[in-house]
Amino acid sequence: MKRRELCRLSLLPLVGGASLLASADPSGSPLRIGGGEIALQLSGDFTVATRKEMHLWITRSADAIARYFGRLPAPRFELRLTAAPGRGVRGGVTDRDPALFVGARVGRETGATEFLDDWVLVHEMVHVAVPRLPRAQDWLHEGLATYVETVARARAGITSAEQLWRELSRGMPQGLPQAGDRGLDRTHTWGRTYWGGAIFCLLADLKIRHASQGRLGLQQALQGVLSAGGNYGEDWSTAKFLGVADAAVKQTSLSDLYTEMKDQPMPVDLDAIWRELGVVQRPDGGAVQFDDAAPGAGLRRAIGG
Ligand SMILES: [Zn+2]
C-alpha cells in the first residue's frame, strides 16, 4: 500500500525552509476554518489551476479535523507548501519554530484526484492537535495521527466507511509485536510506531466506548486534551496527556492500556476484533464487507460514521 511513509514529526524544518519562505506567495490571506485560521505560505511556481485545487484540499482537510476535534487544533498555524516535481503530496512535517506549522511538498502536476486521495495533510493536522510528548512516545503521536486521520476523513465523507475499515484491517497487522519486542516505549520500528500506535488507539477507542455504554470514545478524550490547551505548541508529559484525556471521559482507559503496552509485547487478537465489529476481509484483498449481525456492529458504525 502507498500509505504511511515516515512523517518527520518535530525534526528539522523543511530543507532550506528559510530561503524558500522568503519567496513565499505574499498574496494569500489566512483561511478561516473551524474557529481558527491557517496562514498559507506557498513556495514555488504552482499554476493557477493547481492553487485552486490546493485551496479545496486544504479546506476539506481542515474541515475534517475541525469536525473530529470540534475546532481547529490551534487558533492559528502556518501551512507551508513547497512546489516539487511530479504529482502527489509528500514529506509532511509538523513543528514549531517558534510558530506552529505544518509543511509538505506538493507536486506541481497534482490534480483533484490525488488531492482527494491525500492523507498527509490530515495526518499532520492531527499532530498539531496533540501536545509534544517525549521521544519515547513517538509511537503514541504517530499512532494517533494514523488512526484519527483514517477515522476523520471517513467521518467527513472524504473517504468511505469501507475504506476506513479496509485500511485499518490491512494496516494494523504490521503493528503487532514481533519476536524480541519490548513494548511500545522500547521498540522503535516503523510498524510498531505507526501501526502499533494505531492499534493502541483502536483498543483505547473500544475500551472507552464499552465503559461508557457507547456514549463516549477516543474523540471525546482528545477533545478534552485540546480544551485543556494541549496542542503541539505545548510540551506535556505522557502521564499528563493520558490523565487529561482519561479525565475528559471520566475513565482510566488510556492510562491502563498504556501500562499494559508500554514495556511488554501485549498480544492483540486483531481477527477477534474484526469479528466483533463485523468487518469481513476478503482473501483477495478487495473491499471489506460488513456483518451487521456482529455484536459490535453498532460500535463500528459509531466509530466510522
Ligand atoms: Zn506523523
Q: What residue segments make up the domains of the chain, in order of their start? A: 8-128, 135-304
Ligand 1 centroid to Cα of residue 30, in Å, is 24
What are the start-end ranges of the E strands in the chain?
Answer: 8-9, 31-33, 36-43, 76-84, 89-96, 100-107, 279-280, 289-290
pLDDT band (50, 70, 90) for residue 285: confident
Ligand 1 centroid to Cα of residue 162, in Å, is 23
**Percent of the chain at pLDDT exceeding 70:** 91
Range 37-51 average pLDDT: 93
The candidate with the shortest Cα–Cα distance to 232, out of 104, 106, 77, is 77
Ligand 1 centroid to Cα of residue 26, in Å, is 28
Whole-angstrom distance, CA of residue 61 vs CA of residue 65: 6
Ligand 1 centroid to Cα of residue 294, in Å, is 33
Ligand 1 centroid to Cα of residue 292, in Å, is 33
Range 129-150 average pLDDT: 97
Residue 17 predicted with pLDDT over 60: no
pLDDT on residue 9: 56
Q: What is the pLDDT of residues 209-259, one digit of tens each?
A: 999 999 999 999 999 999 999 999 999 999 999 999 999 999 999 999 999
Ligand 1 centroid to Cα of residue 209, in Å, is 25
Q: What is the pLDDT of residues 54-113, one digit of tens each?
A: 999 999 999 999 999 999 999 999 999 999 999 999 999 999 988 999 999 999 999 999
Ligand 1 centroid to Cα of residue 142, in Å, is 5
pLDDT band (50, 70, 90) for residue 33: confident
Ligand 1 centroid to Cα of residue 8, in Å, is 6
Largest interatomic CA distance in the chain:
58
The candidate with the shortest Cα–Cα distance to 41, out of 31, 32, 50, 33, is 31
Q: Which residue has the cell 517558534?
A: 98
The candidate with the shortest Cα–Cα distance to 252, out of 267, 238, 242, is 242
pLDDT on residue 24: 39
Ligand 1 centroid to Cα of residue 232, in Å, is 12
Whole-angstrom distance, CA of residue 110 vs CA of residue 107: 5
Ligand 1 centroid to Cα of residue 215, in Å, is 28
Residue 281 predicted with pLDDT over 80: yes
Quote the pTM value: 0.92
Ligand 1 centroid to Cα of residue 235, in Å, is 17
pLDDT band (50, 70, 90) for residue 188: very high
Ligand 1 centroid to Cα of residue 139, in Å, is 9
Q: Cα-flanking dihedrals φ and ψ of residue 202, to 5°?
A: -65, -45
